[in-house]
A and B are shown apart, each in its own frame.
Chain A
């Protein structure tokens, strides 16, 4: 099992560019989430999904879009990148509810210049 796979691992964007961070899981998990990790800020929830076709906003959703067309994939789109979006992004999945183990990907380190 690959678990949760994130691509790319590193990315540099210019301000105003758009891009999609990919996340795929092969564990048939219903719940998937996107977090950003910044120094001293911990893990902040951007968007989450409780199943295919269902998404909702987290703590810091502005500037990001998500969709969940399949159980396996949960891409995160940056609409118009800003330097404030420089961060490490993590995708996570869990089975059944948020009261079970969350499996995290390896992260995507994004720099916006």
Chain B
């Protein structure tokens, strides 16, 4: 069974702090690793994605770190803001196969 394991389930961070969410995968054939952000009552939306030929990708305050040998990747949110409070899903997929999602992390940023 292909799996993507995400941790923690929930996370509370002070405003201005760094939020870190981790994911691990099993299938070395995965070659696309997106992160989705979901606000209450809305569908998930793509936040940032990385392919395994790079070890890091940064978009504004959001950074994906990718460790191919450890089969792990993580999302870092710098200078976390109350507006970042949402559920975050990591995911993985490979060519011509469906996306596998992690179970999600509920992030709450304290004002």
CB-CB contacts of B49-85 with A at 8 A, as 1s and 0s? Answer: 1000000000000000000000000000000000000
B25 within 8 Å of A (CB atoms): no
The residue of chain B having its C-beta at the shortest distance from the C-beta of A48 within the complex is B98
- Residue from A4, A41, A43 with most neighbouring chain B CB atoms (10 Å): A43
User: B51 to chain A: closest CB distance in Å?
Assistant: 8
- Residue from B36, B42, B101, B102 with most neighbouring chain A CB atoms (10 Å): B101
- Of the four ranges (under 10, 10 to 19, 20 to 34, 35 or more), the interface on chain A belongs to 20 to 34
The answer to whether A104 touches B98 (Cβ under 8 A) is no
- Of the four ranges (under 10, 10 to 19, 20 to 34, 35 or more), the interface on chain B belongs to 20 to 34
- Residue from B43, B95, B99, B102 with most neighbouring chain A CB atoms (10 Å): B43
B9, B31, B97: which contacts A40 (Cβ < 8 A)? B9
The answer to whether A42 touches B104 (Cβ under 8 A) is yes
B46, B99, B102, B104: which contacts A98 (Cβ < 8 A)? B99
- Residue from A90, A99, A101, A107 with most neighbouring chain B CB atoms (10 Å): A99
- Residues on B lying within 8 angstroms of A by beta carbon are 6, 9, 31-32, 34, 36, 41-46, 49, 89, 93-99, 101-104
- Residues on A lying within 8 angstroms of B by beta carbon are 4, 33, 35, 40-45, 48, 58, 90, 92, 97-99, 101-102, 104-107
